[in-house]
Structure 1
Amino acid sequence: MDLNTVAEIRDARRPAPWRPGDAWLGGGTYLFSEPQPHLRRLVDLSRMGWTPAQRHPDGSLELAATCTIAQLSGCARDLPALAAPLFEQCCRAFLASFKIWNTATVGGNLCNGLPAGPMISLTAALDGTCLLLAQDGSGRRLKVADFITGAGRKDLAEGELLRSVTLPARALSCRTAFRQVSLYGLGRSAALVIGTLDPVDHSLTVTVTAATVRPVRLWFPLPPTAAALRAAIEGAVTEGEWFDDIHGLPEWRRHMALRLAEEIRRELTEEERR
């Protein structure tokens, strides 16, 4: 879609004062998908030259905000980590064409803050931490689960930039389980639940997304019973936080999230007993 109110595109490598009507341009799959009448200038990040995915000496994995879905998928194939299959599962949850895969970015998906954003699901489940850069050059770090505060809402100040998301080595070493459901065979995720089991201390995390307006990540020092897991989810998600749109009613999303979470609990705890 043409953005006929945009009068200028600025290269992000050339610093300039942020002004009203500015927006960061990564892949642009959302920006150009619908009218944006409030925008006057796009600040293009595509030439920043950030390494899409970088493994650090401590074993953590840093994903640049400009890392495309195609690049993430390719990186995961060579990632020597137990959690590597989860990357491809979340990439496939886009149900998008190769054109979108080669354009859409990890950072864009997070900054849209949509409940069904699969990069939110992936990075929240793997205990990801966002690096946010302000216009004055200062930075701050924030967990992905705290960065997304509601449907389309995130803890991002005016002009602030999501630079990268770092996934810790401990999370990458976990066994994972993935469940996703939608109303239609090729529909948007209505509930997406991810479980991780730590091989060191046997703790379990269950992360609920798509069914809720924000990612809900629950940590259990030891795998809980079915009743304890259900109670924890219902205690963490208020009635108004079950998402409601054309892709699923809140009651159905709640039911499916609880069902998928229990499937994940059984899968990971049964593997643990073997």
Structure 2
Amino acid sequence: MDLGTITSVVSARSRADLSILGADTQVLAGGTWLFSEPQDHLTTLVDLSTLGWPPLTSTAHGLEVAATCTLAELAHADHPAAALFRQCCSALLASEKIWNTATVGGNLSLSLPAGAMVSLMAALDATLTVWAANGDDYEIGVTEFVTGVNANVMQPGDVLRSIMIPTDSLDSRTAFRKVALAPLGRSGSVVIGRLAPNGEFVITITAATTKPVQLRFDALPTAADVAAKVAEIDVWFDDPHGKPDWRRHVSGVLAQEVLEELR
């Protein structure tokens, strides 16, 4: 939709251009959520796409994903972990047009339970770099970054800069499961299993919970071990796309499935 209160769009060229962010000034990346509903409190948008951040950069430590990287750029990456990238992008159930516009950073910053990039980056133990409004930078893991439904640690004026996926996570074997109440419905539960090269086994549950939940084991656990850990979760989400008891049950079933696939 049109944002009728916007009077100015600033093309950011450097970090200094972000200093104007405030109550009536918001960043613009893909804009898929920004333009989906009225934003009557805004008068100015600061376009991050003009900063020219490379979408994907391989480093000695892993893969750096710019916050402005689109879902299409990530899903179509020529990378050994691209299969999981595509699976998580597909969980968003968006059109190719949206994939070409929506950004990884935007999805993370929204911090919704069914956020596909929250699922992916949490499962891969990614670290986020945030440009703080006071000029400092800080790094934080995804499971600490997202604090609840549509809530995270960023303060007004903070900007998510990039996501670093470590090499060990990229080299892991993974298994992906998703369930929804309708064939094209919003994710009711997304469960990703990851078996690391050192034998560590991690199950990440999102969409079913108000924030990402990880079950970590030093080695492949038994089915009973996994069931016990799932039973301890107390942050099940409740909305029209699934009641907590249903989300608890299906997440437990999917957790067993990813365990069996990776065993």
Match of 1:68 among 49, 70, 85: 70
Task: Please report the RMSD computed on the Cα atoms of aligned residues, expressed in angstroms.
Answer: 1.2
Match of 1:32 among 24, 35, 58: 35
Match of 1:202 among 178, 190, 199: 199
SS at the partner of 2:76?
helix
AA of the residue aligned to 1:61 = L
AA of the residue aligned to 1:12 = A
Structure 1 residue 268: deviation in Å? 0.8
AA of the residue aligned to 1:234 = A
Following the alignment from structure 1 to structure 2, what is the Cα–Cα distance between the partners of residues 254 and 40? 42
AA of the residue aligned to 1:19 = G
Match of 2:187 among 189, 203, 225: 189
1:216 corresponding residue in structure 2? 213
SS at the partner of 2:193?
strand
SS at the partner of 1:39?
coil
Residues 22-68 of structure 1, C-alpha deviations (whole Å, 9 max, x = no match) = 2111100000001122222111101110000110023x001000000
Following the alignment from structure 2 to structure 1, what is the Cα–Cα distance between the partners of residues 240 and 129? 33
Structure 1 residue 113: deviation in Å? 0.6
1:242 corresponding residue in structure 2? 236
Match of 1:18 among 21, 24, 32: 21
Structure 1 residue 204: deviation in Å? 0.3
Following the alignment from structure 2 to structure 1, what is the Cα–Cα distance between the partners of residues 91 and 216? 24
Structure 1 residue 220: deviation in Å? 0.4
CA contact (8 A) 1:23 1:43 kept: yes
CA contact (8 A) 2:194 2:203 kept: yes
Match of 1:232 among 220, 229, 232: 229
Equivalence map 1:56-205=2 (5 Å): 56-58=59-61, 60-75=62-77, 78-79=78-79, 81=80, 83-199=81-197, 201-205=198-202
TM-score, normalised relative to structure 1: 0.92
Following the alignment from structure 1 to structure 2, what is the Cα–Cα distance between the partners of residues 230 and 153? 28
Match of 2:54 among 48, 51, 60: 51
1:9 corresponding residue in structure 2? 9
Following the alignment from structure 1 to structure 2, what is the Cα–Cα distance between the partners of residues 17 and 112? 21
Following the alignment from structure 1 to structure 2, what is the Cα–Cα distance between the partners of residues 99 and 155? 30
Q: Which shows bigger deviation, 214-223 or 160-169? A: 214-223
Unmatched runs of 5 consecutive residues or more in structure 1: 270-274
SS at the partner of 1:243?
coil
CA contact (8 A) 1:131 1:165 kept: yes
Q: How many residues align?
A: 260
AA of the residue aligned to 1:255 = H
Residues 46-97 of structure 1, C-alpha deviations (whole Å, 9 max, x = no match) = 1110000110023x0010000001111121xx11x3x331111111111111
1:265 corresponding residue in structure 2? 259
AA of the residue aligned to 1:202 = G
SS at the partner of 2:9?
strand
Following the alignment from structure 2 to structure 1, what is the Cα–Cα distance between the partners of residues 22 and 244? 39
TM-score, normalised relative to structure 2: 0.95
Q: Which shows bigger deviation, 220-229 or 186-195? A: 220-229
SS at the partner of 2:23?
coil
AA of the residue aligned to 2:11 = D
CA contact (8 A) 1:193 1:257 kept: yes
CA contact (8 A) 2:21 2:27 kept: no
Following the alignment from structure 2 to structure 1, what is the Cα–Cα distance between the partners of residues 184 and 20? 43
